[in-house]
Amino acid sequence: MLSRFWLYPAWGVPPYAPLILRPIFGFLTASWLLSRSGQTWSEFGLARPTSLPATALYAVLLYFAVWALLGYVAPYIADAVGPEPAPSFLGYIRGHVVAFVGWIGLTWTVGAFAEELLFRGFLLNGVARVIGHAGVGLAAGVGAQAILFGMLHLYQGSFGFVMACLFALLFGAAYLVTGRNLWPLVLAHGAWNTVGIARVYFSSP
């Protein structure tokens, strides 16, 4: 509620924008728990990549996988759930360079970095560890983090929830396929959001 009633009014952000303090608090809590247990984020996939070209390639492939998801799957989801038309909460950034730069910064620090570490790194592995049984635990971890990620996007309605769940399932699978390397996920997530924000900024009113 701090976002909606204090932070956003101070920034001039519409009240229906996503509540960015939730993933921030979640990330800080996860970091505190890891610190208490003597663990670091590098153990969850934030270590220096063994191959920078491979990391970049995975990020590009994942970016286009998201593009395919939205281009070929989203229309069927839209037909099934009937998305409710809503104005973009970023509409106010058109011609507002400070707001544009601010959201680019937020999308990389919160949307790309904090969310990937929290959902794909901490939550996925945490659920898998609790469930156990190798593959079963990993499947449960991928599913659980996807549902929680979808709930973070409930402000977008049922369509946004389903699409966010599918996005998280894709990224959860990519996390495992890349050997639990978070960097391709961070790069693809940040790049996708950056392109979306730039499109709004440079679009006509």
Tell me: the pLDDT tens digits for 168-185?
Answer: 999 999 999 999 999 999
Higher per-residue confidence, 90 vs 45: 45
Domain assignment of residue 184, given as a range: 54-82+102-205
Flag whether 7 is in a domain. no
pTM: 0.90
Flag whether 198 is in a domain. yes
Domain count, the chain: 1
Q: Report the C-alpha gap between 44 and 46 in whole angstroms.
A: 6
Q: Are the CB atoms for 93 and 202 separated by under 8 Å?
A: no
In this structure, which amino acid lies at residue 147? I
Flag whether 113 is in a domain. yes
Flag whether 60 is in a domain. yes
Flag whether 90 is in a domain. no
Cα 153-156-161 angle, rounded to 5 deg: 50
pLDDT for 155 beyond 90: no
Over the stretch 94-134, which tens digit does the pLDDT of each residue have?
Answer: 888 998 999 999 999 999 999 999 999 999 999 999 998 88
